[in-house]
Amino acid sequence: MYFPYFRGRQYELLALNELAHKRLISNLILPVVEPIKVSSTLNNTLKIFNTNNLGISIVFNPKVGDLLGEINKVEAICKKFKKNQLVPALLMSKPALSYLTNMTNYNHNDILIILTDRDFLEDYKEAFKDLSPLYTLIPDDRQFKRSVTNRVLFENKFNKKLKNSDYPEDEFFSDDHLFYEDEGYAGFGDYSIVGDEYNESGFAPYAVAIHIVYFDKDKTLRLGHFISNSNFDTSDVAGKFYEAVTKLYRWTETLHPSQHTEGLNTLLNHYNNKTYPGLPTLKKLSIMHHLELINRYLNGTINNE
């Protein structure tokens, strides 16, 4: 089972929205969303997951964005949706402990916990000494593994660069999907092709980068970076996109059809039509491709020969 973690940005929610609406993912994937604000897009995404009987997890105590610490506001959103499909999540911390004791709508074994800080491990053990959480997302560390059941291997896999032009053409992304079960995990998770950094500011890029994951012949997951060429200033972002998507188009000619997803095909349509979708949509499509590809792997429909 795959647990992609998102910070609830608009393009991330729209990616989840479209994947759920088109049934491109299944309950083999449980997205975890740390909402950064109350928005119609968040409500619509939850509604679509609910309507399509797909699970989604929402962090009740976000640590970034406008909802920082606004547990009651997040909980109020979630009350509208089916309890067995919307999984409440908590980022493990001292304040989270007091909230756990006051949660009346959920049992401890209904909750997903994100536990990445060693300093909160003893608190976690005390809070869940009688009843384990539904899932606990942890790093690959034996100190965590000794104390956590229903554990999910959770690490940042995206090697973010300061500049888009610094990305290599291709690099290893992950092999957690190959080994997580043998290593005693119930699933694996990461921050998709976005990374764990949260930054609200945006700026015009010198270079446009398209990040596309794919399965290599050894079934490891690799990440191709398709970078524009005219990276001397911030002018003509649409032209930069076309340079990058042209490289992507040529590369996909050798990619097995089972790895051509809705998100990837939409990007290729922009190449064929010479259209520019905008940078947020570019990120949305890359996320869609990643999650649909992992869903295909988990349901056994990937062929990379």
Query: What is the structure's pLDDT at 27?
Result: 95
- In this model, does residue 105 exceed pLDDT 80? no
What are the backbone dihedrals phi and psi of residue 224, each rounded to the nearest 5 degrees, phi first? -95, 135
Query: What is the structure's pLDDT at 75?
Result: 81
Mean per-residue pLDDT, 215-234: 94
- The residues, ordered by sequence, that sit 6+ positions from 12 with a Cβ below 8 Å of its Cβ are 6, 33, 194, 283, 284, 287
* pTM of the predicted structure, to 2 decimals: 0.94
Residue 10 binned pLDDT confidence (cut-offs 50, 70, 90)? very high
- C-alpha–C-alpha distance, residues 101 and 108, integer Å: 9
Query: What is the structure's pLDDT at 243?
Result: 96
Mean per-residue pLDDT, 66-86: 79
Centroid of chain to Cα 45: 14
- In this model, does residue 284 exceed pLDDT 70? yes
Query: What is the structure's pLDDT at 164?
Result: 93
Query: What is the structure's pLDDT at 235?
Result: 87
Query: What is the structure's pLDDT at 99?
Result: 81
Query: What is the structure's pLDDT at 50?
Result: 92
- In this model, does residue 38 exceed pLDDT 90? no
Give the range among 53-62, 97-106, 116-125 with minimum mean pLDDT.
97-106
Alpha-carbon separation of residue 13 from 31, 36, 44 (angstroms): 10, 11, 9
* Segment 191-203, tens digit of pLDDT: 999 998 877 666 7
* Segment 137-175, tens digit of pLDDT: 999 999 899 889 899 999 999 999 999 999 999 999 999
Query: What is the structure's pLDDT at 305?
Result: 58
Mean per-residue pLDDT over the chain, rounded: 91
Nearest alpha carbon to residue 61 among 100, 117, 20: 100
Mean per-residue pLDDT, 265-275: 96
Percentage of the chain modeled with pLDDT above 90: 71
- In this model, does residue 3 exceed pLDDT 90? yes
How many Cα atoms occupy the beta-carbon half-sphere of 17 within 13 Å? 16
What residue ranges do the domains of the chain occupy?
1-154, 161-173+205-305
Query: What is the structure's pLDDT at 202?
Result: 64
Nearest alpha carbon to residue 45 among 77, 78, 13: 13
Residue 304 binned pLDDT confidence (cut-offs 50, 70, 90)? low
Percentage of the chain modeled with pLDDT above 70: 98
What are the backbone dihedrals phi and psi of residue 112, each rounded to the nearest 5 degrees, phi first? -100, 135
Give me the helices (H) in the chain, please.
10-21, 40-51, 71-78, 94-102, 121-127, 142-145, 176-179, 237-252, 262-273, 279-298
Mean per-residue pLDDT, 248-275: 96
- In this model, does residue 103 exceed pLDDT 80? no
* Segment 175-192, tens digit of pLDDT: 999 999 999 999 999 999
Q: Which amino acid is at 20?
A: A
Mean per-residue pLDDT, 270-287: 96
Alpha-carbon separation of residue 30 from 54, 100, 161, 277 (angstroms): 8, 22, 28, 27
Query: What is the structure's pLDDT at 201?
Result: 63
